[in-house]
Amino acid sequence: MCELLGMSANVPTDIRFSFAGLARRGGDTGPHSDGWGIAFYEGRGCRTFHDPEPSARSDLARLLRAYPIRSRVVVAHVRRANRGAVSLENTHPFTRELWGRSWSFAHNGQLKGVKKLPLGRFRPIGTTDSEHAFCWILGTIADRWTALPPPRRLDAALPDLFARLADLGVFNVLMSDGRSLYAHCGKRLSAITRRAPFGRATLIDDDLAVDFSAETTPNDVVTVIATRPLTRDEAWADLPIGETLALRDGERH
């Protein structure tokens, strides 16, 4: 099992508070010590950081906790390897370019027989089930459209593909093209949407609190999705098993 963290917001938002909680689970308050990674979208660009070291002890993770990258879409993952060796190429999130967009993908779970799914143009670099699943999804949608379709078309198409993968095992996933954040709950995902009036929140995994009212404007909308709630004093909602969320600008679509 691994832990996922995703964010969709209507303004560039600092993810450091949530990432600090997730990073502690990477070998400290959690057993997910086989690497971690994070993808931040900034406009059409996507900046990724990957480290096969445990996030709780990673120099790079320490830098990121101090580095105010502001982003509207974030996909992050701490890994506990079950399939595929601990190595850089097996570290989520995976990224690929399709239709001139940078796509990212982070998965939690095991997928029995996923490597029998036929691949098109996208090929795994590492050996995980997860990267194979990602390549299969992208190859399937690449065959369906020759150029970037409107978000609503993808919103309609992706749940069926996610459901096919969920039939193979546990498929909790976060995936983004930088416009939308897609989240599929195969077994466990929780979400919270923060909007005015903003309050205060305290991490479960660290002695760290933040007063969001001091960091936001009244129009900000920020949805955070995580395997397990990251804060102790907010009302996280579990996603129903089998549900796919499509988020844009922090809102569900």
- Contacting residues toward a second copy, per CB under 8 A: 42-50, 59-60, 63, 67, 87-91, 96-102, 121-126, 142
**CB-wise, 46 or 75, nearer to a second copy?**
46
**CB-wise, 64 or 203, nearer to a second copy?**
64
* Nearest Cα to Cα of residue 188 among 198, 205, 173, 210: 173
What's the 3-state SS for 92-154? CCEEEEECCEEEEEEEECCECCHHHCCCCCCCCCCCCHHHHHHHHHHHHHHHHCCCCCCHHHH
Among candidate residues 2, 46, 135, 185, the one labeled active-site is 2
Q: How far is the CB of 26 from a second copy (least distance, A)?
A: 17
Sequence-distant (6+) residues with CB within 8 A of 232 are 202, 203, 204
Q: CA angle at residue 213 from 209 to 219, to 5 degrees?
A: 135
Q: How far is the CB of 72 from a second copy (least distance, A)?
A: 13
* Nearest Cα to Cα of residue 18 among 28, 4, 2: 4
Q: Which residues pair with 77 in a beta bridge?
A: 4, 37
- Residue 99: exposure state from Cβ atoms within 10 A (0-12, 13-18, ≥19): middle
* Nearest Cα to Cα of residue 176 among 109, 76, 91, 51: 76
Q: CA angle at residue 133 from 130 to 135, to 5 degrees?
A: 110
Identify whether the C-beta of residue 204 lies closer than 8 Å to the C-beta of residue 230. yes
Q: How far is the CB of 252 from a second copy (least distance, A)?
A: 27
**CB-wise, 84 or 109, nearer to a second copy?**
84
Q: How far is the CB of 67 from a second copy (least distance, A)?
A: 6
Q: What's the length of the chain? A: 253
**CB-wise, 90 or 108, nearer to a second copy?**
90
Q: How far is the CB of 105 from a second copy (least distance, A)?
A: 12
Q: Identify whether 135 is a catalytic site residue.
A: no
User: Which residues are the active-site residues?
Assistant: 2
